[in-house]
Structure 1
C-alpha cells in the first residue's frame, strides 16, 4: 500500500546550488589592468567595440560627476551625491540594457542616467530642489531618481511583472546600494520578483558604506549576493571596478530575464571615493589609506590599460572621449543656470481639480508676499 508520503512531489523549485553566487567576486581584469589569473569560465568578455564605448561613457561619467560637484559648491545644486569610483557599475549596468528596457535608479545614479542618454540638465533637476525629476519617465523608460532607500525596488518589480503579463520584450534594471539591502523594501521586492518570475535584475552597488556605516556593521552575510538565495533568486557577485566583468555578468542576467528565466541579484563590489554627499566629511569614519587603496584600482584606468594591451584602444579614442566629456561639462555649465527657476505659485496647482476656498486664500496670501518682496 502506498501513501501520499511515498509519492514524488511535483516541486519545480530550483536547487540551492543553482542560486549560489561565486565564492569570490568574478573578474577578468586585475587592478593593474592585466588578465585575471582565474577568469570566470562561464562568462565571456564583451567585444572590444562595446568596451571602447564603455570607456567613452565612463570618461564622460567621471567628468559629469566632477562638474556636478563643482556646481554644488557654486550653489547651483541643493545637494549632490557623487558616484566617483563607481563608473564601471553605473555604465556597465545601463550598457547591458536595450532601448525598450527600464531603469530604476537611486539618487547616486545620475551618471548612469546620463550614460543611458538623458539630458544632464534634466537629470540634475531634482537635485536642484525642483518638485519633479526633470525628465519624462514614460518616454525615457527611466524612473525618477529615488532618495529613500530601496523604496523604488517594489515599484521596479511591479513594472517588470506588468511587462511580463503584457508579453513585452522588456527587462527592468533596479539599482540599490549596500545600505538599501538592510531595508524591508529590498526583501519584499526580492520575494515578489521570485514568486512572480518577474524579468528584473537587481544590481547592488556595494560601495562599502551606508553613509558612515561600514558593511561589517550592516550584515554578517558572507556577501550581499547571498541575500537572494532565501527568496529563490539566482545570485552572483562581481568585481564592480572591472567593467569587463560587470558587463559580462549583467548582460547575461538581463538576457536570462528577457528569456523568461526570472530575476537575478548581482552584487558589484566597488567604492565611493568621495563623501556620501557634498555635506559629508568622510574623514570622520574612514582613513585616507583605505581611500588610496581603492583609488589605485580606478575602473577607468584599469579598462584603458587592459584595452591598450590588446591594441583595442588608441590615443585617438582616448582624446575623443576626453573631448566629448569636456563638451558635455561645458554645455552643462552653460545651461544649468539659464532657466528662470520654479514659480512658487505652482505649489497650488494640481492639488485639487477644483481648488478649495482655503487653498485659494493661501494662494492669495503668497501672491501678496511675493509682490511685497519685489517692491
Structure 2
C-alpha cells in the first residue's frame, strides 16, 4: 500500500516562475499523447497495453469481463440517448447526458463492492446502472415527479445531488462515519465511499472542504472527478493551472489521472483506490480524463462555446468502440454477440420510453406527504389550506 509521501513531487517548484498559458494547456490536455502519468490499459485503437502500477488490479479482466463491460456501456448509452429524445419531445423537463463518459462511469461502478457507498452528482446514470438501479427509476427526477425512487441504503447509491459539489461534503461525512464505526481495515467486510463530481465542481468550496475533512480524518473516500473538459461553457484551462489530479498533493493524499475513455483502466484504478480506502490509506483523488460528447444538459447549446474539430477528435477515442475492436481483433468475438447486445439495448430503450409516457402525475398533496417522515401541526395546516384552494377550481 502506498502512503502520501510516495506521491510527493520529486522536483522542487520555483516559486519565481509562473507557467505560461501554453504550459498550462499542455498539462491539462495531455491524454494518450505521451503523458507518462496517464493510466491506460486499452488504447483508442483497441490494443491491450500494460501499466505496471495497476496491472495487478486487472488480471481477471479477460474476454468474459470485456463482453460484460461492453454490454453495460452499450445499454447505458442507449437509454441515455432515449432520455435525450424524450426531453426534446416534451416528456421530460430536462435530461443530463452522459454521452462519452460511459467508460468512466461503468469502470468505477463495477469496481465497487456491495458494502461500499456511492454519492453521485446528477449525471451518474452509468454508476446507477452498475449499482442495480433500474434506469426507469431515474425518470421521476427529470420529469419532476420525485427526487429519486430507489432506496439509497439498500442500493448503496445515494440520491442525485443537484447542488454542484455538495455531495463531496456528504461523502466525506459518511466516510468519516465508516471510520468511526470501525468499518475500515483488512477484513472482507471493510467499507469505502466514492464520490462523483465534474471538473467544474473542483472550483466549488464544498469540494475543497470535503478534501480537507477527508484528509484530516483519513476518511475512506475516493473522490472521483470526471474531467469532461467543460464546466458548462468554461474549459478546465480557466479553472486550474495544473492537472486536476495534482491538486491532491496539496491536501496530503494521492491523486491519479486515468484515461476516462478506457473502461479497463477506470476499473483497475478505482479498484486500487477503493482498496486503499478500505484498508485505512484513504482518501484518494482519481481524475478520469474524458470528454462530454453532448451538451451539459438539454438546455445547453455546446456549439456556442466549443469547436466541432474538438468533438471530431474525441470521437476517435470513443470508449465503446475501443472495446468492440479489442473483442473482435484479440478475442475473435463474432457479430452475433454484438447483435444480441444491440437488441437488448433497444428493448431497454423501449421499456424506458413506455414507462416515461405512462407515468401518472403525482397527487396534489405529495409535496407535503413526502417532506418529513412524520407530520407536524404546521405542515398539516399548510396541506389542508392548499388542498382547499386546489379543490376550489372547476374540473380538478
The answer, yes or no, to whether TM exceeds 0.5 is yes
Aligned length: 360
Give secondary structure in 2 for the equivalent of 1:82: coil
In structure 1, distance between residues paired with 2:311 and 2:173: 38
Query: Is residue 312 of structure 2 the alignment partner of residue 286 of structure 1?
Result: no
CA pair 17-97 structure 1, distance change in 2 beyond 3 A? closer
Tell me the TM-score normalized by structure 2: 0.85
The equivalent position to 2:159 in structure 1, one of 127, 131, 144, is: 144
Q: Any idea what the Cα deviations from partners look like across 1:7-51, whole Å, max 9, x if unmatched?
A: xxxxxx84263589x853211222222245xx3221113521222
CA pair 234-336 structure 1, distance change in 2 beyond 3 A? same
Q: Any idea what the Cα deviations from partners look like across 1:146-187, whole Å, max 9, x if unmatched?
A: 111110011111111212222332111111100011111111
- Any conservation in 1 of the 2:7–2:253 contact (CA below 8 Å)? no
Tell me how far 1:140 sits from its aligned partner: 1.0
Query: Is residue 223 of structure 2 the alignment partner of residue 202 of structure 1?
Result: yes
Tell me how far 1:323 sits from its aligned partner: 2.2
Tell me how far 1:256 sits from its aligned partner: 1.9
- Any conservation in 2 of the 1:101–1:141 contact (CA below 8 Å)? yes
Tell me the TM-score normalized by structure 1: 0.89
Give secondary structure in 2 for the equivalent of 1:173: strand
In structure 2, distance between residues paired with 1:86 and 1:316: 26
Tell me how far 1:312 sits from its aligned partner: 6.0
What is the root-mean-square deviation in Å for CA atoms of aligned residues?
2.3
Gaps of 5+ in 2: 11-34, 184-189
- Any conservation in 1 of the 2:131–2:156 contact (CA below 8 Å)? no
Q: 2:41 maps to what in 1? A: 28
Q: Any idea what the Cα deviations from partners look like across 1:90-120, whole Å, max 9, x if unmatched?
A: 1001000011111111111123212321111
In structure 2, distance between residues paired with 1:184 and 1:23: 30
In structure 2, distance between residues paired with 1:258 and 1:361: 46
Q: 2:51 maps to what in 1? A: 40
Q: Any idea what the Cα deviations from partners look like across 1:322-368, whole Å, max 9, x if unmatched?
A: 22211211111122232322112222334673323x96366335434
Query: Is residue 99 of structure 2 the alignment partner of residue 84 of structure 1?
Result: yes
- Any conservation in 2 of the 1:19–1:233 contact (CA below 8 Å)? no
In structure 1, distance between residues paired with 2:383 and 2:219: 46
Query: Is residue 390 of structure 2 the alignment partner of residue 369 of structure 1?
Result: yes
Q: List 4+ stretches of structure 1 deviating above 6 A.
A: none
Task: Identify the range of structure 1 (92-101 vs 165-174) with the bigger mean alpha-carbon deviation.
Answer: 165-174
Query: Is residue 135 of structure 2 the alignment partner of residue 120 of structure 1?
Result: yes
